[in-house]
Each structure stands twice: as C-alpha cells, then as structure tokens.
Amino acid sequence: MARATQKPGQTKEQTKLIAQGIQKGIEQYKKQHKAKLREQDKRANKAAAKKSVTAAPTDTPVKSGNANNNKLPWGLLILSWLGFAAYFAITALL
C-alpha cells in the first residue's frame, strides 16, 4: 500500500516508515472497532436483562382450578374450630 502512494524521489526508509504508519493505523482501527462492538454488546445485554426483569413481574400467574379450591381452607378452618369446641366441651364436663 505504501508503494502505491510512493512519490518519485522517496527513499526506501521513508516508504518503510509510511508502511509502518499504515500498519499502526490499521491495528488502532481494529482495536477501536473491537471496543465499539464490546460496548454495543454490553448495552444490548443490559437492555435484554432490563427487559426480562421488567417483563417477569408483569406476567400474571394463571389461576388453575375453580371455586372448589377456595372451599378446602375454609372447611378445614371450620372443622378445626369445631374440634376445639368439642375438646373444651368434653374437658369442661370432666
């Protein structure tokens, strides 16, 4: 590439220095490009993580079953109170 832009009267050393400068520039560009891609990936990952965190709480759980499921706890509560009442009634008679 340096030879393509070589001017008449330019020494080999000058051409060599130009070639080294071009190579350095290419390496620096590649480093900057990698850094830019890393930053884009970080932003994309943060956005995806933020999206998944905000999406999870908004999902409403699907209720399975019907009203019969609500009767079981109430039935057990009433049964336990009846058991307590019967226990206290029997111990009061003794």
71-88: pLDDT as tens digits: 899 999 999 999 999 999
Q: What is the pLDDT of residue 60?
A: 60
- Can you list the alpha helix ranges (DSSP code H) found in 1-94? 12-58, 68-93
Question: Percent of the chain scored above 90 by pLDDT?
Answer: 46
pLDDT confidence band for 59 (50 / 70 / 90): low
d(CA 59, CA 53): 11
Task: Output the pLDDT for position 14.
Answer: 86
Q: What is the DSSP letter of 11?
A: -
At residue 93, the pLDDT reads 85
The reported pLDDT for the residue numbered 2 is 62
Question: What average pLDDT score do residues 34-58 get?
Answer: 85
Q: Is residue 68 very low, low, confident or very high in pLDDT (cuts 50, 70, 90)? A: low
